[in-house]
Amino acid sequence: MTHRIHPSILNANLASLDAEIRRIPSADAIHVDVMDNHFVPNLTLGLPVVECLRANHPGTFLDAHLMIENADAHAPAYAEAGCESVTFHLEASQAPIRTARQIRSLGARASLGLRPQTPIEPLADLITEFDMILIMTVDPGFGGQAFLDVMLPKIRRTRAIVEASGQEIWIQVDGGVSEATIERCVDAGADVFVAGSAVFRAEDPDAMVRGLKAMAGARCGGH
């Protein structure tokens, strides 16, 4: 299993994003949190900033995480802007399959995000409509929160559903991922890890990215 580290720029210096991204060349992607102060109680950045990031970092995999209301109307625009992966939340979508198919038709990976309290089981028959499932391991909205261990069984159930589908669907975890928690996430079946404060508050952010990836790989290799 390939493990991917997607540092979240929510915890970076937002006034110097280009420089911050250059500090983490070992990252597999840049995780871009888009918040509208409605779906979550925080306001971050939107489509114009994403378009600038795409233009300034043409070779970088952009992983957009939309924590916004009315996701069906807005998510395709992030695929059009050149994001390689677009995550929208089930709780903010009235037509998740249609929206996922729109995102895929625009050449991006379609990903579905779930708040901690949203179960995975109702999605079992629909799982192949998505390229990734994002399991929030904190309540979405703010960086730096403590990892919720109670989400580990949900990650395991998601892995079982993905395995049963026979498709290669990534399982991403977001929230409190660090050296102290990544091994538990690997054990539960996650393979894509969003790390924000653990990376950007480290003395050497890129060394932290490499370290987290090494820990994930070693943990998986030991099973």
139 is catalytic: no
Residue 42: its pLDDT value, please? 86
Residue from 28, 63, 131, 174 carrying the catalytic annotation: 174
Q: How many CA atoms lie within 13 A of 57 on its CB side?
A: 24
Choose the catalytic residue: 28, 33, 131, 191.
33
Residue-wise pLDDT for 162-209, tens only, equals 999 999 999 999 999 999 999 999 999 999 999 999 999 999 999 999
Report, as ranges of residue numbers, the positions in the chain whose pLDDT lies below 70. Answer: 221-223
Phi first, then psi: what are they for 141, rounded to 5°? 140, -35
pLDDT of residue 221: 64
The H or E element that residue 30 is part of is: strand 30-35
Helix, strand, coil: what percent of the chain each, to 5?
A: 45, 20, 35
Predicted pLDDT at 223: 47
* CB neighbour list of residue 222: distance below 8 Å, 6 or more residues apart: none
Q: Is 174 a catalytic residue?
A: yes
The model carries a pTM of 0.95
Pick the CATH number of 4-221 from 3.10.20.30, 3.20.20.70, 3.30.365.10, 3.30.1360.120: 3.20.20.70
- Positive or negative CA dihedral for 20, 85, 80, 73? negative
